[in-house]
Structure 1
């Protein structure tokens, strides 16, 4: 049974921004592939928030974890191709009640300290 998953307003904005950027630089088909990858990664976390590839980020706060989209790349359904080199990760927290709150969706080249979420959506 999948856990409840909530996206913070900031995480939703991150997704909108990265999909718009992808469309602008790589086209509509690339955006659709990246969107499917994000959805697959979110579903994967809902099934198992500590799945292989997730990293405990205790230095960022209690119960905070990160999960790079590349770990879900081979699980994307469909025949439209895969994202060859995904560059984003999910920064999330699992509440004591088991709710998964995604605080940010960040590019892996960003300075993490400058982009930490104030809310995770699991409050």
Structure 2
């Protein structure tokens, strides 16, 4: 079970709009599938190889780079050669909370999660 927080939902919408504006529907739809696949991977195993701990952002904060899910999507989506976003999340009681989805050049805002 998982929850996408309002800031993460806004991040995803922004990413998909920007993908469409720059590259068109095929890339936008592919990026959406890549994000969904990454979230599924996180929910399935939130401590798997590739997950990085980020205690500087708060207790239990972890990150998963979208490139780690690239090989788990269909070949037409794999043409997104260099995905550039990171999902920040944490486990909370009975679910995984998706906190933010940010470009790799960004960091979580100064708020604590």
Deviation >2 Å, runs of 4+ = 78-81, 115-119
Normalised by the length of structure 1, the TM-score is: 0.84
1:91 lines up with 2:64 in the alignment: no
Aligned residue for 2:70?
73
- Give the root-mean-square deviation of aligned CA atoms: 1.6
Gaps of 5+ in 2: none
| Whole-angstrom distance in 1 between the partners of 2:3 and 2:77 | 27
2:16 to 14, 19, 44: 19
Among 24, 42, 45, the alignment partner of 1:45 is 42
Offset from partner CA, 1:31-65 (integer Å, 9 cap, x none): 01101100000000110011111101111111110
The TM-score normalised by the length of structure 2 is 0.91
TM-fit CA distance, 1:81: 3.4
